[in-house]
Each structure stands twice: as structure tokens, then as C-alpha cells.
Amino acid sequence: MGRITLTSIDRAYGKMKILHDINLDVADGEMLVLVGPSGCGKSTLLRLIAGLDRPTGGRIEIDGVDATDVSAAQRGLAMVFQSYALYPHMSVRQNLAFGLENIRMAKAEIDARIAEAARMLEIAPYLDRRPGQLSGGQKQRVAIGRAVVRNPTAFLLDEPLSNLDAELRISTRAELAALHKRLATTMIYVTHDQVEAMTLADRIVVMRSGRIEQIGRPLDLYNAPANLFVAGFIGAPRMNLLPVKVLSVAVNEVAVEGPGGLSAVIAANSAALKPGDEATLGIRPHDVDLSAGGPGSVEARVTLVEALGPETVVHATIAGDEKMVAVLNQQGIGAGGKQISLRLNPERMHLFDTAGLRVSII
Amino acid sequence: MSAAATLKAWVGAALAAPVVWLASAVNVPLKSWQRATGTGGMAAFFLAPNMAIFGIFVLVPLVINFFYSATSGTAYFLQDRSYVGLEQYQRLLDCSNYLDTATCREDLFWKAVHNTGLFVVVQVALMTVVSVVTALILNREIAGRSFWRAVFFFPVLLSPVVTGLIWRWILQRQGLLNLIVHDMGGEPYNWLTDRFWAFTAAVSVSVWAHMGFYTLILLAGLQAIPRDLYEAAEMDGTRPARVFWRITLPLLMPNLLVVIVLALIRAVQIFDEVYVLTGGGPGTSNLYLTQYIYEIGFASLLRNPGLASAASILMGLVLVVLTLLQLQVGRRGERKGARQ
Amino acid sequence: MTGVATFLTRRRGGRGWHWTDVVSWLWLIGGLVIMFGPAVWLVGSSFKTPAQLAEFPPTILPYVGQQTSVEGHDKPLTLYRVKLPDGSTKIMAEIRRIGIVAQMVDPKAPKDIVKINIADRQPVREIGFETGNYTEPFVHFDFLRYLRNSVFVTAMATLITLLTNSMAAFALSKYKFRGRDFTMLLIVGTLMVPLSVILVPLYSVVSAVGLLDSLWGVILPTVATPTGVFLLRQYMLTIPDELLDAARMDNASEWQIYWRIVLPLAAPALAVLAIFSVVWRWNDFLWPLVVLSRKELYTLQVGLNTYAGQLNVQWHFILAMTVVTMIPVVLVFVFLQRYITSGIAGTGLK
């Protein structure tokens, strides 16, 4: 079992509040990814769960048992650190054995577990090397191995891929996903990289300034971001956000107008808006297309064209200062300086009210 | 594995076993202490031995020194001594002419002050010049630099007693120095019984013993000066002397000041090697402050711990001033470094 | 040979000799002579006999007089090359000497005793080492005892220094607690308090805790070195906190973290402190001089100073004992050089 429940967790350092009222329920076997910009408190939250730090308020339960004041060692969790934190003066084998020796496990059992983990992670050839003699990817595997041999209730992973180069990061990511599937153990994974979050997570927790902005399945977050922050954070390239003015509000229909001749009628819950409100219209770059002009289009001026081959990323400005990015499935867009018309897919539009909260789309 | 290696490993394990066993035995009670007190209690545990020793043998003496200096008598226990206020200080400072030790009530103290003052000035000046020259030469592209650096560092490690005895042996009547003098056609001389030469010997021997330390500091400073500055100066056709005065010396200044202040602090406390070399003589010509404190405090028949205490506090004040000067110098050096 | 010459005379850019090169090499060679010369002279002198030490001008190398056993005399007699009144020279043995006249005998004709003016003879001798200077003090003096005391003081003080300083440095670098900055300030503030400033009160404290005239009285006041705490703390700050967290997750207690993680990783700094501590404690003079009054407790430095301060200075023994006192420091000197270079090479491996 590996169910972890956080109830109104606060953490403050002196007057500085790092975490505000965090409530979270991690299901057994789930891969939960905490994502957010640096300094958002995600690593602090992980350390609170690990028991390396204590909350100033709230309650942490592991499998229904209050663990708030239980020490890190007794919680039965294992952690993979950003820097791997392998003991440099011990061989790989000793690194794996250290935690098991500390709980006075029998030697034969330790050897069996190390052999199993080494086979699974393919680190058997370097068991007698020191961490300093390993490459980044090998160190990463050993760090995971050190967690695996513990057979923990849950794995806590703190940006485990951030010290790897791009190529290795992608392959290790896939391996991590496979490992999770195989072990079926709860994993709480901290990253600032939304791609990692999208690819790995069962559920994503987006955090900002010590608060949870949204919790949900990856595609739910992508398709229905709860607020402007999540909208901007999830998805690459970022969602285009345009300031619009609410023209009229009818039942489940909101008409807005914006820069560059933009006007749209969005099928949205209109209760939160009234005519004259400043709102924000969001459209993902993949939901923008070239058009011949006319209603539903905006006039834009191309500033940069990045031809990637299968698709072309067009950076443009609308009405002089609003930036707009479009990802087009065609080549030969031309060069900067050109005037183009862009059509925003009305079915894929997002609308955010004055406070930046999502207006639900019908 | 060879038999010898096996044996070595086996002996190593056997030697380490008690230490390892002790460390794990300590772990058991500590774990409960850790559970009871948390990490804060563990911090206290780790600090305790050092701070206890530090408190008893450094802090307590530092504080009660002031009480000592305000008491008189020959007893060492504070409760057996009588309070006299500032009398010891008055006695030390009772002088009608500070430049003439004969007019002072504690003429020995003032003799020691004068000697120490002269020693500090001459020794620090000589030390600085010798160390700077050596460091400059070691910083040149010479073959075997680390060997030469080691050569000058060697005496730093010698004990003051060994240093004193080595030089006493060389400077004595049938010594090496007189052999050289003899071979050059001169008359052998009893160097250490002459006031002037005994003082010169004290200064030279202490420079000999400690210059390697300061040379290392200066050499580190010199090697931190970027090479391209010299190359730029060479491109500009700057004369070597000008390179030294305008580039090397200003950039070396932070290290040089540290060296001077450190040498000052050490020179004020000069004792062991000169004591072994000359015993403070001939007469009182090599009597310095630390020896005065030692003799008045312990060795002399007319011992007066209160007076020694007062003298040590006066010396401590000088050292505090010098230490503050050093901090100031260090900070200025940092600021200068930050600006560049 | 020319290769060596060009190597030694090589200089920047391969141009000719500048006057500064000449000065540099003179300085270095002079430095070599002045820095090592006295120690070499000491070692050479330590192998000379008392008679040779009293000679002037002294010889550079130690010589040993030749002796022979002569019939009718229990002890071996010293041989001399004697200029006889008839102008011939002959090798004879000395029986006894009275003033400037020596009674001598030809070893081949032990009955005929001849009186010779000592100006007319030269000892027969060859280069040799008077090793008795080294073996005698062990037997007839308390030298062995002093040596044992010094080794005990140095070893104990260094061990305790390493243990207590590293524990304190661990607490000061890896824990956050109230009063940490104050503690650090206190330690750094006393970095510059020399022994001579607290000599008298320290003596009374040591006597109050009953450690006067005991080797522990020499050891304990020296072990809480602020320098050691400072040095180790600076080093431990470079050990990442994540390692400690990893160990905590691995069920390690705080003591295990100190003992199994931090201490091994601080080994380079510990080695430096150990080397310093050995040299400091071995060389300590003033404090043992004050604390120890019973002769059998003297350390080498104090014992040596006492011998050298006697009215009848037995230089042949003192020189030999000085050499022995110097040996550990010379070993550290050699070892330290190797340690520094291998330390740099070792960082690539570890």
C-alpha cells in the first residue's frame, strides 16, 4: 500500500511562508507529478512528505496512519535526489547496501535484493565501482537502484532527470515509466519540466508560490486549464493569451472582441461574465491556422519563422504589440515582415475571466 | 590476492575492528537520545566535548585573567589571593621616564617592552623583505620550483627548541660560524655573549625559522596575479622595475599586508627559540614580554602571578589591536578585490 | 652532461643570462645552504666524539680514533701517531695523560713506557660515526621516557583534536540551531588568543582540576583548537546536504551520518589537521614547561632544554637527542610534500 494524504499543510521559515494550505491525496500505485516554476515550493513539499523537514501546520498520513512527527527513516519511503546524492566514498554495491544494513537486514537478503535491482536496472557491471567513475546516466540508475532495494511504500523523486543531457533524459524518462508500471508502487515526482509531467504522470499537480493551482490528469490540464497560470505553464509552445473585451453575454454564449480585428463567439458558461468585462482569450499555437482573412480571423505581422520540417513555428504580432505563435502543418510560410491572416479554431478557444480563472466551455 | 596483501587486509581489519565496534556501540544509546531530543539535541551532543574543553581551558582562563590582575600574593588559587584593584597595573606603569628603564619601578617589564618593540620592528622588516624576495624568485620560471619552495619551508616545521639548539651549536665558540671566520682569517668570537650579536642572532634565527611560512602566503598571492597582465606590460615595453612597482606590488598588497600583520602578531609573542638560544641573555638584552610573563608568573623566586597577569593583559590588548587591524586589512583587501 | 647544463641554465625564451637570473640562482643556492646547512651540520656533529666536539677548528666530517688492546691493560687504548725525539714517527697507544705529558707505549713492546709531549702526537683516526651518542642517552638518561611522553602527548592530543573538532565542526556546519552563529563567533574570536596571554589563569585552572604535573594537563588545554574547528567546518560546508538527506532516508542515525558519511568525506581536511596537530603538539614547549615539574613527565622539548641548560653541557648527547627530536618532523616534511602532490593527482580519481 502507498496511499499518502496531506491535509492543510503549511510550511513557513520565520515570516516567510513557503507552502499555504496544501491538500493532496495520492492514491496507491499512482504516479503523481508535482510541477511548477523554481521556488514554487514543490521540492519543499516533497521534503515534508519524505520527513526531511517538518510542516508548521497540517497533517501527513501514510496508509491512513498519522506520520507527521515520524522521522524520515521510519516512514518507509525512498527518495531519488536531483544530484543523485550517492555516497562518493562507497562502491555502488555499498551505496545500495547502506540503507539495508542500517535496518540490520540479513546479509543474504541484502545480496539478493542488490542482485535483483542490479539486473532490473542493468547496473550489475559497475557494482564494484565508485560513483565518481560512473557516467551521469549510470549514476542515475544507481540512485534509482538505491531506492528500489529498499522496497519502499512510495518513491519520492526530486527532479531526477535534470542533470542528464537531452537525449538521455528522454530514454530515462521512458525507462522510469516502465519501472513504475512494473513495480506499481506510488511515486511522487517533482519536476519543473512540463513535458516530463505530461509524459509520466497519472495526475499532475501544478504549483505556484506555495499553492496548488490545479490537480488533474495530464490531458485534462491541457484541455481545460483552471487558470491563466496553468494555461501558460502546460503545453509547448505556450498557449497564446490575448486580452479581449466581452461584448455581449447570452445563455451559454459569450461574444468577445480583441486586437487585430479579432472577434469570436464562444460557447461558454456566461454566468461569470458581463458585457464590458476585460477577459483573456487563450488559444494553443496548434489551434491556429492560416486563413484568407474575413470574419473569425486576425491580421498578424510575421516576426520570425522557424521551419522545423514537419511543422513550421510562426512568431507574429497582432496590432503591433500582442505576440502570437502559430504551429502550422505546412512549409513555405515566407519570411519575417510579411502580413498574414490567422484563423483561431473557435472550438479550441479558452476563456478566462477578469480574475484569470477559467470560464468553463460548453 | 597475494599472501602479503591478504595479511595486510586482515591486520587492517583487525586494527579497525575495535574502532568500528566502538562507533556502533556509541550508536545505540545515541539513537534513543536522538529520538528523545530531535536533531537539536544531536547538535548539542556533537558540540558538547569540544565546547566543554574550550570553555574550561580557553574561556574561563580568559575571564579570570582579569580577576588575577586585580589581586596580589604568590598563591595560584583565586580564593587565596587578596584584592588590590588596579595596583598591579600602577606598578607596571610606574615610570618617570618610559624611555629609561632605570626610572621604572618594574624595570624588567620595561626592559622587556623595549626589547620586544625593537625586536618586532627589526624582525618584521627583515622578515618581509626576505620573504618578498624569496617569493618573487620562486615565482620565476625556475626548474624544480616545488623543491625550492620546500627548501625554504623546511625550518617552519622544526620545533623552537631544536631551532634554538641548532643555532646555539653553530654560534658557540667552537662552532661552524667561527670555523668560517677562522678560515677567512678572522678571530673566533663568542657571539652569544655579546649584546649586539646576541640580539642580531635572535632576530636572524627567528626569521630563518618562520620566513618559509610567509613566503608561501606571498607566493600564493603572486601566482594569483593573472599572467596576461605581465604579457600586456611586456607588449607595452614596460621595464621590469616598473612592472614590479606598478603591477606586482599593488596586486600583491592584500597578501603583503596580511603577512606583515601576522608577522607582527607573532613577533610580539616571541619566546621559545630565543629562550633556548640565549636564555634571554646576555643580561637582559634578549628578555622579551612572554619570557617576562613566564618568569614573573612561574620561574622566578619572587613570583607574582598577579603582576604577570596584568602584563599579559597589556600584551593581549596590543594583540587585540593588531588583530582588529588585520580584520580591517582583510576587509579592505576584499573590497579591493571586488572592485577589480 | 651538456644536457644537464642546458637544463639548469635554461631560462625564459632561451635568451642569454640576465643579471636577475644570476641573483635568483645565487639566492636559491644560498637559501639551500642556509636552510639545510645547519641541520646537516647538526647531524654531522652528532656523530662526533666529545674530544672532537671540543676541537677548534672543527672538522667537517666526524672521525673516530682508532684503538687497540694492549697486553697488560684491561681497556682498549687510543692510538696516536707520535713524533719521537729522534725525528722518526711511530704509532703508539696512550696509557694515561697528565697535563701536557702523555705516557705512551708501543703496542708491540708493551713494557716500554715513553713520556711524550702531547704537542708531538696526532691521533690516528678515520671517518667513523660515534653511535654511542645515540645509544648512551637511552641507557643513562631519561631520554627514552621523554620520547615516550612526547609520543603519548602527540598521539593523544591529535586523536582527541580530530574527534572533538570534527564533531563540533559537523554540528556547526550541518545543523541549524539557536546560538550557532554566536558559538562560531566565540570560536573565531579566540582564534588569536595566544597561550602567553592566558598563561597564569590557565595554570590555575589546570591545577584546580587536578591535572598539574600530568600529561593530560599538557594535552587537554591544546585540543579544542579554534583553527581545527574552523578548518573542518569550512570543508564540511562543501559536502552537499543532499548526501545527509539521502542517508537519513536510508535509516541512518545522526551519529551514523557523522561517522559513516561526513567523516570519511572530510578525510582530506582531517589529514591536514592531523599533520598540523602532530607538528604543533610535538613542538610544544612553553606549556609543558609550565605544567610539568616532575622530571619523569618531561616531554622531549622540555627535557632537551633542561639538558642544554645544565652547567656542564654534554653537547655530544644533546646533539644526538636533538636529531632524534627532529626526526618525526622531517618525516612529516617528506610525507607532506608527497601528500600534496598525490592529493592533486588523487582528485581525478575520487
Closest alpha carbon within chain A to C265: A89
On whether both A277 and A350 belong to a single domain, the answer is: yes
On whether both A221 and A245 belong to a single domain, the answer is: no
**Cis amide prior to B282 (ω within 30 degrees):** yes
On whether both A147 and A266 belong to a single domain, the answer is: no
Number of compact structural domains in chain B: 2
Q: What is the pLDDT of residue B335?
A: 53
How far apart are the C-alpha atoms of C171 and C189, rounded to whole Å?
18
On whether both A225 and A271 belong to a single domain, the answer is: no
- State the smallest CA–CA distance between residue B191 and chain C in angstroms: 16
DSSP A153-175: SEEEEESTTTTS-HHHHHHHHHH
A79 to C251: CB separation less than 8 angstroms, yes or no:
no
Residue ending a domain, choose from A173, A200, A233: A233
Residue B315 belongs to some domain of the structure:
yes
Residue type, A186: T
Residue B153 belongs to some domain of the structure:
yes
Query: Per DSSP, what are the bridge partners of residue A313?
Result: A306, A327
Instruction: For residue C4, give every residue at least 6 positions away whose Cβ sits within 8 Å of its Cβ, in sequence order, or none.
Output: none
Number of compact structural domains in chain A: 2
Residue B74 belongs to some domain of the structure:
no
C224 touching B, CB under 8 A?
yes
Cell 466581452, residue located: A246
On whether both B263 and B129 belong to a single domain, the answer is: yes
A50 to C249: CB separation less than 8 angstroms, yes or no:
yes
C-alpha cell at B237: 615595453
Residue ending a domain, choose from B36, B65, B94: B65
On whether both B152 and B198 belong to a single domain, the answer is: yes
Residue type, C299: T
Checking ipTM against 0.85, whether it exceeds it is no
Residue B78 belongs to some domain of the structure:
no
Cα dist from C120 to C38, C80, C92, whole Å: 34, 10, 12
C255 touching B, CB under 8 A?
yes
Among the partner-chain residues A79, A89, A103, the one whose CB lies closest to the CB of C251 is: A103
Positions in chain C short of pLDDT 50: 1-13, 340-350
C-alpha cell at A287: 489551434
CA A248 to chain centre: 36
Report residue C272: phi and psi, to 5°.
Answer: -60, -45
Q: What is the pLDDT of residue C5?
A: 45
Q: What is the pLDDT of residue C337?
A: 60
How far apart are the C-alpha atoms of A46 and A30, rounded to whole Å?
15
- State the smallest CA–CA distance between residue B302 and chain C in angstroms: 15
On whether both B61 and B117 belong to a single domain, the answer is: no
On whether both A142 and A52 belong to a single domain, the answer is: yes
Q: What is the pLDDT of residue C8?
A: 45
* SS3 assignment for chain C: CHHHHHHHHCCHHHCCCCHHHHHHHHHHHHHHHHHHHHHHHHHHHCCCCHHHHCCCCCCCCCEEECEECCCCCCCCEEEEEEECCCCCEEEEEEEEEECCEEEEEECCEEEEEEEEEHHHEEECEEECCCCHHHHHHHHHCCHHHHHHHHHHHHHHHHHHHHHHHHHHHHHHHHCCCCCHHHHHHHHHHHHHCCHHHCHHHHHHHHHHCCCCCCHHHHHHHHHCCHHHHHHHHHHHCCCCHHHHHHHHHCCCCHHHHHHHHHHHHCHHHHHHHHHHHHHHHHHCCHHHHHHCCCHHHCCHHHHHHHHHHCCCCCHHHHHHHHHHHHHHHHHHHHHHHHHHHHHHHHCCCC
Contacts of C333 in chain B (CB under 8 A): 150, 153-154, 157
Among the partner-chain residues B60, B62, B134, the one whose CB lies closest to the CB of C31 is: B134
Contacts of C174 in chain A (CB under 8 A): none
Task: Give per-residue pLDDT as tens, B27-46.
Answer: 888 888 887 777 778 888 99
B220 touching C, CB under 8 A?
no
Q: What is the pLDDT of residue B91?
A: 82
On whether both B312 and B237 belong to a single domain, the answer is: yes
Tell me which residue range forms the domain holding B24: 3-65
Among the partner-chain residues C243, C248, C251, the one whose CB lies closest to the CB of A52 is: C248
Closest alpha carbon within chain C to B309: C200
Residue ending a domain, choose from A202, A233, A264: A233
C-alpha cell at C285: 614547549
Positions in chain A short of pLDDT 70: none
On whether both B255 and B213 belong to a single domain, the answer is: yes
Residue type, C153: V
How far apart are the C-alpha atoms of B252 and B203, rounded to whole Å?
25
Q: Does residue B113 register a pLDDT over 60?
A: yes
Among the partner-chain residues A72, A82, A132, the one whose CB lies closest to the CB of C249 is: A72
- Global pTM reads 0.82
B174 to C53: CB separation less than 8 angstroms, yes or no:
yes
Tell me which residue range forms the domain holding A301: 240-359
Q: 3-state class of A18 per DSSP?
A: strand
On whether both B51 and B136 belong to a single domain, the answer is: no
On whether both B35 and B88 belong to a single domain, the answer is: no
- Band (pLDDT 50/70/90 cuts) for residue B50 is very high
On whether both B198 and B224 belong to a single domain, the answer is: yes
Residue A139 sits in a domain whose CATH number is 3.40.50.300
Residue B190 belongs to some domain of the structure:
yes
Q: 3-state class of B52 per DSSP?
A: helix
Residue A347 sits in a domain whose CATH number is 2.40.50.140
How far apart are the C-alpha atoms of A92 and A282, rounded to whole Å?
50
Residue ending a domain, choose from A187, A209, A233: A233
A81 to C349: CB separation less than 8 angstroms, yes or no:
no
On whether both A246 and A190 belong to a single domain, the answer is: no
On whether the CB atoms of residues C113 and C132 are closer than 8 A, the answer is no
Helix, strand, coil % over all residues of chain A, rounded to 5: 30, 35, 35
On whether both B55 and B160 belong to a single domain, the answer is: no
On whether both B105 and B221 belong to a single domain, the answer is: yes
Task: Give per-residue pLDDT as tens, C296-347.
Answer: 899 999 998 888 887 777 888 888 888 988 888 888 888 766 554 333 333 2
Residue B71 belongs to some domain of the structure:
no
Residue B129 belongs to some domain of the structure:
yes
Task: Provide the chain B residues 28-87 that lie in CB contact (below 8 A) with chain C.
Answer: 30-31, 34, 39-40, 42-44, 46-47, 49-51, 53-54, 56-62, 64-65, 68, 76-78
Among the partner-chain residues C20, C38, C279, the one whose CB lies closest to the CB of B166 is: C38
On whether both A141 and A290 belong to a single domain, the answer is: no
Q: What is the pLDDT of residue C341?
A: 38
CA A3 to chain centre: 21
Report residue C206: phi and psi, to 5°.
Answer: -65, -40
On whether both A191 and A314 belong to a single domain, the answer is: no
Instruction: For residue A352, give every residue at least 6 positions away whose Cβ sits within 8 Å of its Cβ, in sequence order, or none.
Output: A227, A228, A231, A241, A279, A280, A281, A282, A358, A359
Nearest to C141 by CA among C11, C303, C341, C323: C303
Straight-line distance from the first to the last Cα atom of chain B, in angstroms, rounded to the nearest whole number? 57
> How long is chain C?
350
On whether both A191 and A262 belong to a single domain, the answer is: no
How far apart are the C-alpha atoms of A248 and A265, rounded to whole Å?
9
Q: Does residue B330 register a pLDDT over 80?
A: no
Instruction: For residue A194, give every residue at least 6 positions away whose Cβ sits within 8 Å of its Cβ, in sequence order, or none.
Output: A35, A233, A234, A235, A236
H or E segment to which residue A358 belongs: strand A358-359
On whether both B51 and B197 belong to a single domain, the answer is: no
On whether both A80 and A178 belong to a single domain, the answer is: yes
How far apart are the C-alpha atoms of B304 and A269, rounded to whole Å?
97
On whether both A62 and A126 belong to a single domain, the answer is: yes
Query: What is the b/e burial string over A91-123, where b = at least 16 CB atoms within 10 angstroms of the residue's CB?
Result: bbbbbbbbbbbbeeeeeeebeebbeebbebbeb
- State the smallest CA–CA distance between residue A174 and chain C in angstroms: 24
B57 to C206: CB separation less than 8 angstroms, yes or no:
yes
On whether both B119 and B268 belong to a single domain, the answer is: yes
On whether both A214 and A322 belong to a single domain, the answer is: no
C-alpha cell at C249: 532516508
Q: What is the pLDDT of residue A10?
A: 92
Residue A39 gets the label, from left (phi > 0), alpha (psi -120 to 50) or beta, of left
**pLDDT (average), residues B164-183:** 85
